[in-house]
Amino acid sequence: MEFCKNKLKLKIELINDFDLRKQAKDLGVKIWQTPSFLFIIFGVAATIIMAATYFISKNYENPAVLVISECLVVVVIFVLEMLVTRFVEQMTRLNRMKSEFVSIASHQLRTPLSAIKWETELMLKKFKKGLNKKQVKNIENIYAINQRMIHLVNDLLNVARIDQNRLILKKQKFDFVEMVKEVVAEIIPKAKPRNIKIDINAKKEVPFVLGDAEKIRLVMDNLLDNAVKYTNSGGKIKISIFKSGNFLIFEIRDNGVGIPEEQTGRVFEKFFRSDNASKYQTDGTGLGLYIAKNIVEQLGGEIWFQSIENVGSVFSFSLPISRL
């Protein structure tokens, strides 16, 4: 059974690798500029060259002809290699420019968004009594939308830092279980109106972990927020924390919509959102799991998942236990 699943997964990956239209759309280039197309051309050219070399060596005994044919082979391979190298360099340069632009634009957006946040908080806390219900509702909506924009900007900044290898992570010991309880307490107001129950199962005397507390909190936020968003009303979310060797494992299980099997290989890609996610009209950027994976792995842990469509998902990650 497991062999059949792996075989099917490999087959899907191979099909996706040679889906030129999809690859061109993802990279924003023409079909003939995609890596797979260049790979196919390179393969065809190599086959033709080998056949031609065999034909020439079989039918011509003149050494000069063989030398010329070998020189032509080298020239053709060199030209093809130059085309591939130039394409890779161009894509790398464009990707770097994109990351730099996103980083600069995000930094510039943070200041006005922070100002809006402070002003709306001030109005809701100190001047709420002088406002009517409609005005209060409008200000609350502005505050909520602004918070989503701040979350988006922070995600874009984190992605830019990851892409540029500039994501700075601190390594310090902290109380993992206490952090989980804090994150759950913050998400409860979002889960309660939909009657979603969240349980925490932690073993006694769970050791402290070693990592960047702020960034790990972000990982938890992303995983728990996804679980709440994609779990139907009246559903259950179970969080388990346990030790495994020199690592502490965080596991979050839901009975939500799950992920289609053919898309499981793309879960940790940038901007990925499964097809069934659009049915629930949930907001999201598709960056959370990409960021979570990079943070966990840079801290020496691993992140993985299991998911069945219309049954639910289990996302887990590990972190080194502090020896300090």
Residue 279 has what pLDDT?
65
Distance (Å, rounded) from C-alpha 125 to C-alpha 246? Answer: 47
Closest CA to 17 of 1, 40, 49: 40
Distance (Å, rounded) from C-alpha 253 to C-alpha 127? Answer: 42
Across residues 168-178, what is the average pLDDT? 88
293 pLDDT exceeds 80? yes
Write down the mean pLDDT value for the chain. 80
Check: CB of residue 213 under 8 Å from CB of residue 171: no
Distance (Å, rounded) from C-alpha 234 to C-alpha 196? Answer: 5
7 pLDDT exceeds 70? no
Residue 93 has what pLDDT?
73
CATH, domain range 98-163? 1.10.287
Sign of CA dihedral 90, 92, 98, 104: negative
136 pLDDT exceeds 90? no
Across residues 87-95, what is the average pLDDT? 70
Burial 179-202 (b: 16+ CB within 10 A, else e): bbeebbeebeeebeeeebebeeee
32 pLDDT exceeds 70? no
The pLDDT-based confidence of 281 (bands split at 50, 70, 90) is: low
289 pLDDT exceeds 70? yes
CATH, domain range 172-320? 3.30.565.10
Distance (Å, rounded) from C-alpha 247 to C-alpha 241? Answer: 11
Q: Rounded to the nearest 5°, which phi and psi values hold at 323?
A: -105, 5
219 pLDDT exceeds 50? yes
Domain-by-domain residue ranges, the chain? 17-93, 98-163, 172-320
Q: Which of 18-27, 146-155, 307-316 has the lowest mean pLDDT?
A: 18-27
Across residues 111-124, what is the average pLDDT? 86
Residue 18 has what pLDDT?
58
For residue range 34-80, list pLDDT tens digits in order.
767 777 777 777 777 777 777 776 776 667 766 777 777 777 777 77
Distance (Å, rounded) from C-alpha 316 to C-alpha 251? Answer: 4
Task: Record the pTM.
Answer: 0.69
295 pLDDT exceeds 90? yes
The pLDDT-based confidence of 314 (bands split at 50, 70, 90) is: very high
User: In terms of DSSP H, where are the helices of the chain?
Assistant: 2-17, 20-27, 35-59, 63-126, 133-163, 176-191, 213-229, 288-298
Residue 3 has what pLDDT?
45
Residue 207 has what pLDDT?
85
Q: Rounded to the nearest 5°, which phi and psi values hold at 240?
A: -120, 140
Across residues 267-279, what is the average pLDDT? 79
Q: Which of 9-18, 196-205, 208-217, 235-244 has the lowest mean pLDDT?
A: 9-18
231 pLDDT exceeds 70? yes
Distance (Å, rounded) from C-alpha 107 to C-alpha 149? Answer: 13
Distance (Å, rounded) from C-alpha 225 to C-alpha 183? Answer: 10
Query: Count of CB atoms within 10 A of residue 309's CB?
Result: 17
Distance (Å, rounded) from C-alpha 285 to C-alpha 156? Answer: 9
Residue 65 has what pLDDT?
67
